[in-house]
Amino acid sequence: MNTNTPVANCYEISPRFRRMIEERIERLERDAVADEINSMCIEHEDHMRRHLRLVAVQRAEALRMRLFLDKAGTRSTSQLLEQ
């Protein structure tokens, strides 16, 4: 995943969509912590490796979404009513 790609702040998202993304980030991060804790109980090496790969993917997806939110503007409520 290339996170160094320059992206202009050329798009805006609705407050509702921003909240949905923020909630998804929270779920991904919470699940990653829980899965990492659960991985300590796994005895089979391959199963543990796959489980930790899942944790890494969850964290990478949360980071990708955070970067998206950092670069996106949020439409104000007045802009939404004008449309």
Among 24, 53, 20, CA closest to 39: 53
Residue 60 lies in a domain: yes
Residue 39 lies in a domain: yes
Q: What is the per-residue pLDDT for 21?
A: 96
Residue 42 lies in a domain: yes
Q: 79 pLDDT exceeds 60? A: no
Q: What is the per-residue pLDDT for 36?
A: 94
Residue 7 lies in a domain: no
Q: Give every CB contact of residue 13 below 8 A, 6+ residues apart in sequence.
A: 21, 72, 73, 74, 75
Residue 5 lies in a domain: no
The number of domains in the chain is 1
How many other CB atoms are found less than 10 A from the CB of residue 40? 8
Residue 61 lies in a domain: yes
Taking the model in full, what pTM does it have? 0.76
Give the pair of three-digit tokens for residue 25.
């980030």
Residue 59 lies in a domain: yes
Residue 80 lies in a domain: no
Q: Would you place residue 24 in the very low, low, confident or very high pLDDT band (cuts 50, 70, 90)?
A: very high
The DSSP output letter for 45 is H
- Residue with the bigger pLDDT between 73 and 56: it is 56
Range of the domain at 67: 12-73
